[in-house]
Amino acid sequence: MTEETTVPLKIVVLVKHVPDVQFDRHIDSASLRLDRSESVLSELDEYAVEAAVALVESQGGFAAGHEVIAATMGGKSASNSVKKALQMGASSGLHLNDDALAGSDTVATSKALAALIEHVGDVDLVVTGMSSTDAETSVVPAQLAERLNFAQLTNALAVEFDGASRELTVRRDHADRTLSLTAALPAVLSVTDQANEPRYPNFKAIMAAKKKSITEVDLAGIGLEAETVGASGSRSVVLNATARPAREAGTVINDSGQAGIALVDFLAEQKLI
Amino acid sequence: MPSALVFFNELSDAPSKAQRELLTLASRFDRATLAVASEVPQFAQDVISGYAVDKLLIAPGNSDAFIDHALSALAAAVKRSEADVVLVANDNFHREIAARLAVRLDGAVITDAIDVSADLVVTKDELAGSYSAQAKATNGTLFVTVKPNSIEDAPQAQGQQLEVQPLDCEAAATPAIRIVATEAKAASDRPKLTEARVVVAGGRGVNGDFGPVEDLADALAGAVGASRAATDAGWISHDAQIGQTGVTVSPQLFISAGISGAIQQKAGMQTSKCIIAINKDVDAPVFEIADLGIVGDLAKVLPQAAEEIRRRQA
């Protein structure tokens, strides 16, 4: 990262509002949809916001004209995750808010997000977390690369950007190797939780975020028909979902010097050795 | 009866346990085809012929460009086999190419499967294994990524003749990603964490010393895992991380040492068949899910157990 780019970068960082993993999470037995109360910015998206903001800071900062647009799709409360991203340093927010999005699988989700990114226009880089912590499919970034015809640099352990050549290099695990992969922009980048240390917004950053705008659009606004997303635009359907019975606590013993032997006795009883 | 395609990006040696599980699953369907995006050594072909696979399609990779060749090879294999269901491994790379092709071919992708029925209903884990769900495709080819340890590896065909054919694929249309450096990961004699039948994992309670955890893992021929606290502390490689943001494991036996069992830690281990927990804190939540809980010092319990296993096996 020796030289800075002279052309401002337009970066979209995708954030998702998900049920907090610190609490028990539930799938509604009638709708088969996730209970989305108690939702927060997906912890793994904090790494994406940090990667986007840090990249801009390495290239002369926002004063140089770069943009980091924190974008989300979903119902009204999803904008809370955009607000958090603004506090972490994104320059503006974008919320695709439309009831018809509910029930989208990854095929439909990637369709809506690709249309949103095309609606923004002239995007150089899309940044995401490695996975959402709700559905955990981790495939939407690759699907966006497919739909947008952007280079796919996903599951990055580390990220470097060369402003002069406008090329991004990431490290990624692949089978029994770690690869360094380079591609020119435009690209879709997803970062793992090893890529950086997300910053914690301070009071000044929280106050500054209040002055930043969040633009709201609906499906018609980005040129998508409602039936091409949501349940009708999805290519898979959930038939049923049942909570696994809670595991029951077994025997608990105190070690009085022979617990290692008791452990092996237990393994033998269970025919595990 | 639907037809199945299994796809491996590479097969440098004999098929791995997870790959053999996919071949077993494919044998439930009509006309199972295996496509591989790299050379397949004769030894691997001999192993494959022990499964009910009709045809092996080989598309040798010549590529320094990441992902493009795999995408082209899988696209060509889907077209050639006319398969109704495509089965791939659950790792990031295979998930991603399956998901891209689902978009390209207007099909469906379902991840984290633990079973696929003959009528293409997929059973899968949700919310890190706290729910079991069933899902199906509503349109087009169904791409499924299957978790290791979900299907019992069971070769069945006896000395079947495997039809081997080259698979031509189109040059990549996607933007080039160059591989500019490759580092081999440190070789390990231990089984892969995601595929292991036994996992011994350590957390904050190991206090920087994974020696006792590794010792017991080796006595049990198991893999070593770790909580995020232990990997973040730099006590062990991030590759070992289990939990919400690491890998979830489903071994026969999971031994948790010095891991409190906070909700996101439980998430990574709760589908294990048997859980043994060792922790100094009698109130640690991990005891709520353990089949056997030991309140004690892991630095004493683990070496004693490892020694006892070696003594009995001697």
pLDDT digits (tens, 9 = 90+) for A159-179: 999 999 999 999 999 988 999
Comparing A90-94, A231-235, B160-164, the range with the smallest average pLDDT is: B160-164
For residues A179 and B161, give the distance between their C-alpha atoms in angstroms, rounded to a whole number: 37
Q: Taking Cα atoms as reference points, which of B3, B8, B29, B31 lies closest to residue B20?
A: B8
pLDDT higher than threshold 70 for residue B62: no
Residue type, position B74, single letter? L
What is the Cα–Cα distance from A38 to A18, expressed in whole angstroms? 8
Rounded CA-CA distance B278/A263 in Å is: 10
Answer whether A99's CB lies under 8 Å from A33's CB.
Answer: no
| Residues of chain A contacting residue B187, judged by C-beta atoms under 8 Å apart | 176
Q: Is pLDDT above 80 for B63?
A: no
pLDDT on residue B270: 87
- Non-local (6+) Cβ contacts of B262 within 8 A are B285
B residues 31-60 lying closer than 8 A (beta carbon) to A: none
Q: What is the DSSP string of A77-122?
A: GGHHHHHHHHHTT-SEEEEE--GGGTT--HHHHHHHHHHHHHHH-S
pLDDT tens across A15-65, in order? 999 998 888 888 988 889 998 888 899 999 999 999 999 999 999 999 999
- What pLDDT score does B187 carry? 80
CA A29 from chain centre, in angstroms, equals: 26
| The pLDDT value given to residue B147 | 93
| B307 close contact with A: CB closer than 8 A | yes
B291 half-sphere exposure, CB direction, 13 A CA radius: 18
Rounded CA separation A104/A231 (Å): 5
Contact of A51 with A15, CB cutoff 8 Å: no
> For A114-145, what is each residue's pLDDT tens digit?
999 999 999 999 999 999 988 889 999 999 99
User: Which of B99, B244, B305 lies at the smallest CB-CB distance from A143?
Assistant: B99
B residues 75..94 contacting A (CB < 8 A): 92-93
How many residues are present in chain B? 314
- CA B35, CA B71: separation in Å to the nearest integer? 12
The predicted-structure confidence for A96-107, as pLDDT tens digits, reads as follows 999 999 999 999
pLDDT (average), residues B243-247 = 70
Mean pLDDT of all residues belonging to chain A: 95
Disruptive mutation site among B304, B309, B310 for chain A (greatest number of A CBs within 10 Å)? B304
Length of chain A: 273
Pair of tokens at residue B19: 């790959």
Rounded Cα distance between B194 and B104, Å, is 29
Asked whether A53 and A89 are in contact (CB, 8 A), the reply is yes
Task: Check if the beta carbon of residue A68 is closer than 8 Å to that of residue A56.
Answer: yes
Helices (H), B119-250: 211-219, 228-232
Q: Note the pLDDT of residue B239.
A: 87
Q: Taking residues B230-244, what's their average pLDDT?
A: 89
Per-residue pLDDT, A224: 97
B234 neighbors B274 (Cβ within 8 angstroms): no
CA distance B14 to A198: 42
Q: How many alpha carbons lie under 13 Å from residue B254 in its C-beta half-sphere?
A: 34
- The answer to whether residue A1 scores a pLDDT higher than 50 is no
Instruction: Tell if the CB–CB gap between A177 and B107 is shorter than 8 Å.
Output: no
> Chain A: nearest CA to B55, how far in angstroms?
25
Closest CA to A112 of A213, A10, A14, A191: A14
Contact B294 A262 (CB under 8 A): yes
Q: Per mean pLDDT, which range of A28-32, A112-116, B263-267, B296-300 is the poorest?
A: B263-267
pLDDT, position A30: 85
Note whether A21 contacts B263, CB cutoff 8 Å.
yes
Query: Strands, E, within B24-151: which ranges?
Result: 30-36, 55-58, 85-89, 108-116, 122-126, 131-137, 142-146
pLDDT at A2 over 70: no
- Chain B residues near residue A231 by CB distance under 8 angstroms: none
Over the stretch B86-107, which tens digit does the pLDDT of each residue have?
Answer: 999 999 999 999 999 999 999 9
Separation of alpha carbons B100 and A146, rounded Å: 6
CA of B159 vs chain A CAs: smallest distance (Å): 30
Distances (CA, A) of B41 to A223, B164, B253: 50, 12, 33
Chain A environment of B94 (Cβ under 8 Å)? none
Query: For residue B46, which of B16, B90, B15 has the smallest C-alpha distance?
Result: B15
Q: Among the listed ranges A214-223, B7-16, B60-69, B302-311, which one has the minimum average pLDDT value?
A: B60-69
Q: Which chain B residue is nearest to residue A45, measuring alpha carbons?
A: B245
Residue B44 is inside which H or E element, if any? Answer: helix B42-48
Categorize the per-residue pLDDT at B85 as very low, low, confident or very high, splitting at 50, 70 and 90.
very high
- Check pLDDT > 80 for residue B163: yes
Q: Please tell me the predicted confidence (pLDDT) of residue A175.
A: 87
pLDDT of the residue at B266: 84
CB crowding A239-265: b at 16 or more within 10 Å, else e: eebeeeeebeebeeeebeeebbebbbe
Largest Cα–Cα separation, chain B:
61
B292 SS3 class? strand
Give the closest of A44, A133, A250 to B293, CB-based: A250
Across the interface, whether the CB atoms of B303 and A260 are under 8 A apart is answered yes
Question: What's the pTM value of the predicted model, to 2 decimals?
Answer: 0.95
Chain B residues with CB-CB distance to A230 below 8 A: none
A125 vs B128: CA distance, rounded Å: 30
Strands, E assignment, B79-194: 85-89, 108-116, 122-126, 131-137, 142-146, 163-166, 178-184
Over chain B, what is the mean pLDDT? 93
Q: What was the pLDDT predicted at B271? A: 87
Please give the pLDDT value at position B265.
83
Of the listed ranges A57-66, B215-224, B256-265, the one predicted with least confidence: B256-265
